[in-house]
Structure 1
């Protein structure tokens, strides 16, 4: 499995799973980073350029400047990227600090799909040797308590419900972090967690000082080289995996609960509106409305929203239009982002995206939820819930616990 390569000593790497295909991108041929003022390229080309206007356009220009034929990039986009987007930056607030995007153009790229292995770039003999070696045991997980800090979260939910009923906004996602009291073996955690989850996308990465492993329940956006655009909002949640009868009862309650249906419907409506900004208006359509997707320890209401890019629009425009995901921010987005800034902790990568992008204009962005994060030996989990007028603090706290249970049972202590 590609995780053998993650153990092989590459300084930076990204493992990305999509539609049954696994990609490992390791070693930096080039790195592209973006903050509030500059986009920087290091590696085969060194540049430091001040940007303004569209951050997506700045990234696309930097990538297109690379002297790399048929480049593909892999990386992360932090939630704070939203503060750079026209119309979403908070009035009177300083620009988001620090690095918000880091993309890796790999020296070594391995794709495994349908039993076939495709190698690209450097170290191909080394890669074949690593893939041919016996697998390493994933280790045993260590219990992580996900029910800490309940009182604080209930208070924040109650405040959001009050503001919603006052008409300040319709919906907001509030989250809470759970500190893991030991350094985590991220590769082993990913291997165990992937066996226990059914994600839309999964990822494992070490980029700079940040590590993350996750089992994304939904995409922010997918754009094909021909300009087909898809997003899949998931909103409305109940527990899953507690037995056939209990799961069926939870599904029936999910599909008939007014609060969950409202939360989902307004999210789908917002996704349609956002796609119309970058797509041919009449091409925007909804498919599989309010189906149910099972994602590890939870099940969600899910819908597909599709469109076709309008002339002159790019995949980066589509990412900007849909970022941050409505299911991880709220409605309307500017007002919900203001509430998140007041009521949530700084998010970092949580509810941002892990992305792949290519020279042909294609792009795939997985929403970063159901993940474990680690930096400087400190590891944590994080989960949120969608708050609307009919929300109750106890139920929303329980929803975060249900989501955290998609990851917490699989966390492996380093060296254990």
Structure 2
């Protein structure tokens, strides 16, 4: 299911999904991925995989999206015992280089100083070469397993994306995001925006001190407030009640502390569908900036690599319009030739290039840690019969 790229794609996609669900057999759901901006095609499909788009398990509000086909079972039945790598894997290539990212942060601060924007989120990537293209889907499966072990409270996702060209293999987006954009159940709407981040520390006392400092940080609280204020403004017309706490709270992952504000609302009747709401709110200042249109233009100018589905939406919606949509963070796109990892940081008044670069490094560590874990359990891809060794 798709809509033409460009302005209006997200709204058209939500309308098409609602129409398709009304015409579908019972228990059909829409699952898929919505990109960061409307220049990239969204990728949704109807499926009868009842219970698999949203499986109850030990993870709070877990979202698991599988498209086209499930990833290969891990480890492959044909794989032998794990063999040591013949040579160390090539190092990741940053895009942009660290110096260029810091320069982009300075440009963003100039735009904030002149009043063009109040906040902008700048992303960077790491390109990890994959020497054996035949095993990339097995690596995606191993990454998902590693993330499940390392991020027990995260929302896991693994989405087979559209082929970039007819002759290319379909990449797989894999991640473990901490952030729910929204969940709709009847007229009840819940959101948990995150903005404001600091790394965790292995020493418990230092860890508590860093969390407390984040909670009191003027800069991080301002960054968080832009997100909350934007959501309040956008939600007010469609909600009969809107409960937004006055103070943020802490949200922990295995490696990071975030500022979080749990929002609860009752929707006016007729209630918009979860996908329509998600498309109306996306992208929030948590992943783009404020005001949105100007921040998005700055992102296009300052980021050398397209985000594609990073900081987009992953989720599902049923025929009643209920659904759960999360923001694609702490993720990577696995293709035959490379794994591309993504991370971003919110730039506001008081930000520094060095601190924002360090924040992206801390966020990239989630996927890099999962990659190390996955590689340690990844058997070599079996050589096809008759192929030269």
Band the TM-score falls in, shorter-chain normalisation: 0.7 to 0.9
Partner of 1:105: 47
How much has 1:137 moved relative to structure 2?
Answer: 11
Note if contact 1:210-1:375 (Cα within 8 Å) is conserved in structure 2. Answer: yes
What is the DSSP-based 3-state SS (H/G/I as helix, E as strand, rest coil) of the residue aligned with 1:254?
helix
Structure 1: 5+ residue runs without aligned partners?
A: 1-31, 39-49, 82-95, 116-126
TM-score (norm 2): 0.79
Farther off after superposition, 361-370 or 310-319: 310-319
Q: Where does residue 203 of structure 1 map in the other structure?
A: 157
Higher strand share: 1
- Residues 1-400 of structure 1: pairs in structure 2 closer than 5 A: 32-36=1-5, 54-66=12-24, 68-81=25-38, 96=39, 98-106=40-48, 110=52, 113=56, 149-182=97-130, 184=136, 185-208=139-162, 209-224=170-185, 226-280=186-240, 283-287=241-245, 289-315=247-273, 316-344=275-303, 345-400=305-360
Which string of whole-angstrom CA distances, capped at 9 and with x for unpartnered residues, describes residues 2-31 of structure 1? xxxxxxxxxxxxxxxxxxxxxxxxxxxxxx
User: Alpha carbon RMSD of aligned pairs, Å?
Assistant: 3.1
The size of the alignment, in residue pairs, is 340
Q: Give the corresponding residue for 1:19.
A: none
Alpha-carbon offset, residue 210 of structure 1? 2.6
SS in 2 for 1:34: coil
Q: Which residue of 1 aligns with 2:63?
A: none
- Taking the aligned partners of 1:72 and 1:240, their CA distance within structure 2 comes to 38
Task: After TM superposition, give the deviation of residue 291 of structure 1 in Å.
Answer: 0.8
Question: Using the alignment, how far apart are the partners of 2:50 and 2:204 within structure 1?
Answer: 44
Report if aligned partners of 1:138, 1:191 keep a CA contact under 8 Å in 2.
no
Superposition deviation, residue 308 in structure 1:
1.7
The CA deviation string for residues 112-162 of structure 1, in whole angstroms up to 9 with x for no partner, is 5469xxxxxxxxxxx9xx99x99x999799796587721111011100000
Structure 1 position 377, deviation (Å): 3.3
Structure possessing the higher relative contact order (Cα contacts under 8 Å, 6 or more residues apart): 2
2:174/2:331 contact within 8 Å kept: yes
Distance verdict in 2 for CA 1:144–1:307, change over 3 Å: farther
Tell me how far apart the structure 2 counterparts of residues 366 and 336 of structure 1 sit (CA, whole Å).
21
Cα–Cα, structure 1 residues 107 and 290, in superposed 2: closer, same or farther, change >3 Å? Answer: closer
Aligned to 2:386: none
Shift of 1:238: 0.5
Retained in 2: the 8 A contact 1:297–1:402? yes
How far off is 1:404 after superposition?
A: 0.6
Please give the secondary structure, in 2, of the residue aligned with 1:277: helix
Per-residue CA deviation, residues 221-273 of structure 1 (Å, 9 max, x unaligned), is: 1111x121121111110001422122112112211221111111221111111
When residues 109 and 308 of structure 1 are mapped into structure 2, their CA distance, relative to the original with a 3 A threshold, is closer
Alpha-carbon shift at residue 370 of structure 1 (Å)? 0.1
